[in-house]
Amino acid sequence: MVDWRGEPVAGASVLVWDGRISGSRAVETATDDLGYYSLDRPAGWYQVIAEPRWLIGGYETTAEGGAPVRVDAGSTTTANVTLQAAGVVQAKVVRRDGSLVSPSEVRIRIDRCWGTWDPDGRAYFRGEAQAVQAPPGTYRVCVDVYQRAPGQPRLARIKRTVTVVAGEKVNLGKLRLPATGTVTGRLNFRGDLTGPYGTMAIALETMDGTQVDVKHKGQKKSVTFRRVTPGRYRVIAIGTNTSRVVQVNARTTTTFPTFSYRLSTVSGTVRVPRHKSACVSYYDKWGYGAQKTCGGGKFPYRFGGPVKSTYRLEISSVDRVSGGRAKVTLSSGGSTARKNFWLRRTTPKRTFSGTVHTPDNRPPAALIRIPSQSASSYYQITIKVRADGTFSTSKLQRPETKFFVYDRFDRRIKTGKIGTGTHDVHRTIWIT
């Protein structure tokens, strides 16, 4: 193993995987002082993944460009690893009073400010700072600060532009949390409420839909969001299709107009095929699932909480049943809407079987995945390819669909299509 300068890398962790799908295993070793590693493994296909043990030096890196390598019995297979060039972006965040924010509450995002918190590298804690690796280049960096831990409400986002140089650290220094404001207001919902614990869920979102905080309050209570970064926000009463837009300024309290509405009711009965179960939920226009009721056989549901508007009702089930999606419109506050669901079993109509032929110079096929869409949910059929290359499933449905063949390392190696029909399908699939 060498770095991007060609220098040997000592003390690096090396993992040799026999696959990257469920059931795969890895054996670990380390490089010696000259950067060499060695492992005895049975004949077969493997993928080598290496990671340096220090912060500056490179990414988690796969040998031979990530391609699996073949090990033959009684022979030696060479899989060299060259670490990619990388630098480090590092920061520490302090509060307005000068106290340090715990690194566990800080996340640095490189190049984009959404999705996973370290999309372009591996994140590390280093003393009092949060640090993340990145390849050389100029990036937009977002330093997010959370309440207690990532996944909790976000307190602030600090943006910077940095240039990363291979083998060097970019220290953003001490970043001070901006002065914050407060959002407050009152709730005056009248009527029957069947939400969790008999409370209303009130969310605070940025205008791009990122949730900052959510609180559960009684129907006629006040709600307050503290330590809110200045900017425009939307206060949403989840499940009611009602919201308030507020402008938050530093060191000020912003009061949103009172939510004053009469609550309505949506109810009905769900009939599920024998030995099956399902859940019915209703959603507001922002996609929040406000309430859920589950059961089997024949069961009633009742949602008290929506106001005058149109809502989406959906059935979800792991048992693949159809007939579970509808819209209901409440004409006025305090009104009632009723919708019954009679669910049908989506019985597979045909089989899909055959053989996958893979050349000796490629890892054999391991899985075939078929995306499938019922009336109420999306799911995926996974077919295991046997050691002799054969496969079969009786879960194929009638509509036209694609299928995807993957090897043991979860790499897609073939795409095909199955036409509409009721006949069984038998295919011989050649991997080139």
Please, what is the end-to-end C-alpha distance for the chain in angstroms?
A: 31
CA 356 to chain centre: 32
Mean pLDDT for all residues in the chain: 83
pLDDT category at 425 given cuts 50, 70, 90 is very high
Closest C-alpha among 75, 85, 89, 1 to residue 37: 1
Beta strand residue intervals within 218-308, DSSP E: 222-228, 231-237, 242-248, 253-255, 259-262, 265-271, 277-283, 289-296, 298-304
Helix (H) or strand (E) holding 178: none
pLDDT tens readout for residues 46-83: 998 876 654 444 454 556 567 899 999 999 999 988 87
Residue 268, pLDDT > 80, answer yes
For tokens 């503290």, what's the residue? Answer: 226
Q: What average pLDDT does range 154-165 have in this prediction? A: 83
Helix and strand element counts for the chain (H, E): 0, 37
Q: Which residue has the tokens 């033959």?
A: 72
For the chain, domains (ranges, CATH) are 13-71 (no CATH), 87-176 (2.60.40), 181-262 (2.60.40.10), 265-345 (2.60.40.10), 350-430 (2.60.40.1120)
Q: Is the pLDDT of residue 273 over 60?
A: yes
Model pLDDT for residues 297-318, shown as the tens digit of each residue:
899 999 988 888 899 888 877 6
| Closest C-alpha to 232, from 188, 178, 181, 160 | 181
Model pLDDT, residue 348: 62
Least confident of 29-43, 111-125, 359-373: 111-125
Nearest Cα residue to 369 out of 316, 411, 317: 411
420 C-beta neighbours (distance < 10 Å), count? 9
pLDDT-based confidence at 358, cuts 50/70/90?
Answer: very high
Residues 6+ apart with CB under 8 A from 313: 266, 280, 281, 282, 283, 325, 326, 327, 328, 339, 341
Q: The whole model's pTM is what?
A: 0.62
Q: How confident is the model at residue 236 (pLDDT cuts 50, 70, 90)?
A: very high
Which tokens is 338 given?
């009723």
Q: What is the DSSP string of 106-170?
A: EEEEES-SSSSSSTTS-EEEETTEEEEEE-SEEEEEEEEEESSSBTBPEEEEEEEEEEE-TT-EE
Q: What is the mean pLDDT of residues 352-361?
A: 94
**What is the DSSP secondary structure assignment for residue 82, as one 8-state letter?**
B
Among residues 270, 353, 351, 350, which one has the least CA distance to residue 315? 270
Q: Write down the pLDDT at residue 197.
A: 54
- Structure tokens, 336: 């009632």
Could you give the CA distance from residue 137 to residue 98 in angstroms, rounded to a whole number? Answer: 32
At 196 the pLDDT is 54
SS3 call for 27: strand
Q: Which residue in 213, 148, 224, 238 sits closest to 181, CA to CA?
A: 224
Per-residue pLDDT, 56:
42
What pLDDT is recorded for position 247? 96
For the stretch 95-152, pLDDT in tens is: 888 888 888 888 887 765 543 334 444 455 556 667 777 778 888 888 888 776 555 6
φ and ψ of 215, to 5 deg = -130, 150
Amino acid 58: pLDDT: 47
Alpha carbon distance 140, 172 (integer Å): 12
Whether 100 and 76 have beta carbons less than 8 Å apart is answered as no
Structure tokens at 267: 């109810």
Find where tokens 């918190």 sit.
117
| Cα 258 from Cα 184, distance rounded (Å) | 10
Mean pLDDT of 272-288: 86
Which secondary structure element, helix H or strand E, spans residue 373, and what is its range?
Answer: strand 365-373
63: helix, strand or coil: helix
Q: Name the helix (H) or strand (E) containing 78.
A: none
Which one is predicted more confidently, 378 or 278? Answer: 278
- What's the rounded mean pLDDT across residues 284-291? 83
Given this model, what pLDDT does residue 117 score?
38
Cα–Cα distance, 306 to 103 (Å, whole number)? 41
Model pLDDT for residues 160-215, shown as the tens digit of each residue? 888 988 778 888 888 988 888 999 999 999 888 875 556 888 999 988 888 888 89
